A and B are shown apart, each in its own frame.
Chain A
């Protein structure tokens, strides 16, 4: 190994037990220096495990489906429109799927993702495979996700390179016309709001 090896905080494939010990030691040092409080870390962990997730974004999508005025405001100024529903923490740009246009969100440089609305990203979103390929071969990647779009559909890829986050407003599925707003929200998945899925009809979604 090169002489700069000491610059790295760890070695490849460090065993979980050692990683876990290193993290505990880091937390302990920062607690001692009064920069971190373990209770604060506990609360953040449980907020992401229990409160912050795709059900937030699903409410935004369901509202946009039933309220054309809200949809317009959401597309014009996503940041302000989600604040109307009590969500925030993010400068948001919403991109809308229509019969001829499908949107797909990626972050090639790191893993930017609208946490406040859909929680922490899944491992695949952060993977080298998705980050490298979504921009160059979106149709192939979408087919791996089971989404086969007509050749005539334009796929708009959004590489989240700044402090703005992207959320896809999916198309409402057929057969969902009579559903209530909470029922509609249940149809909306995390993957549909990233653009790697389409919203399924109510019967299929319930399966």
Chain B
């Protein structure tokens, strides 16, 4: 989708501001949001691609107005409501109850869940899945699709319809464009593709600053080996 999240190359944002000795979480609620998100993943309530797409579906002005963990909270509520796990009314009622000093939720302990969540920080989620043999090899010249799908995609807008070179064949990975929409994992080849800065940004490109993007085979077409791009 042509979303506000797809901001690579946009003009208008200022200096990158840094904070020295920044805390891991700026407020306790941020950590709770992260933990809740991890629990939802472990419970298979939503997958990573649905999760990213839910953030992309925020209204652009809301996206820009929210902090990182506010976007996560918005995403969690949006998906939990869409999947019928909670309702917004239920959430409002619970807020009122908590504000009044009562938490009706009984204590609940789940050591297995804790263990699975902790293991998730150390073990890979199996995004790499068996799939068809890659069509391209290292050194092949490709052209990215010039398309504007309405759904989730990981081909950034700034790299649509651009020529590039395969620099690495990563193997076969779950395809976000289908996995985000309940259309299956459809694993297939993922590549690291190098793009010349001048071909992405035109005359204002910095010299010797190629951009590499990990792209699925379905984003790519073969390009005629007409001329060098470097």
Contacts and interface: CB of A to CB of B under 8 A. Distances in A.
A129 B86 contact: no
Interface centre among B45, B62, B74, B216 (most CB of A within 10 A): B62
A108 B173 contact: no
Nearest to A22: B95
Contact of B105 (A28, A90, A130, A141): A28
A38 B36 CA distance: 9
B165 to A, nearest CB: 13
Given A14-B70, A48-B31, A25 B95 contact: yes
Interface stretch (A63-71, A155-163, A177-185, A199-207): A155-163
Interface in B74-115: 74, 76-78, 80, 85-86, 88, 90-91, 94-95, 97-99, 103-106, 108-110, 113-114
A152 B208 CA distance: 8
Contact of B68 (A47, A126, A144): A126
A20 interface: yes
B208 to A, nearest CB: 4
A159 B8 contact: yes
Given A12-B62, A40-B39, A119-B24, A153 B208 contact: yes
B27 interface: yes
A133 B36 contact: no
A108 B122 contact: no
Using C-beta atoms within 8 Å of the partner chain, give the interface range for chain B. Answer: 35 or more
B197 to A, nearest CB: 8
Given A19-B70, A21-B95, A158-B212, A12 B65 contact: yes
Contacts of A21: 95, 98-99
Given A28-B94, A108-B7, A124-B17, A163 B29 contact: no
Given A36-B36, A160-B214, A132 B7 contact: yes
Contact of B208 (A24, A28, A35, A155): A155
B166 to A, nearest CB: 14
A103 B205 CA distance: 17
B110 to A, nearest CB: 4
Given A45-B32, A124-B17, A132-B9, 7 more contacts: A28-B103, A39-B109, A44-B117, A93-B168, A129-B13, A159-B211, A162-B190
Q: Which 6 A-B pairs have the closest CB atoms?
A: A41-B35, A108-B8, A12-B65, A162-B214, A163-B127, A45-B31
Interface of A: 4, 6-10, 12-14, 16, 19-45, 47-49, 52, 79, 87-91, 93, 106, 108-111, 115-116, 119-120, 122-124, 126-133, 135-141, 144-145, 151-164
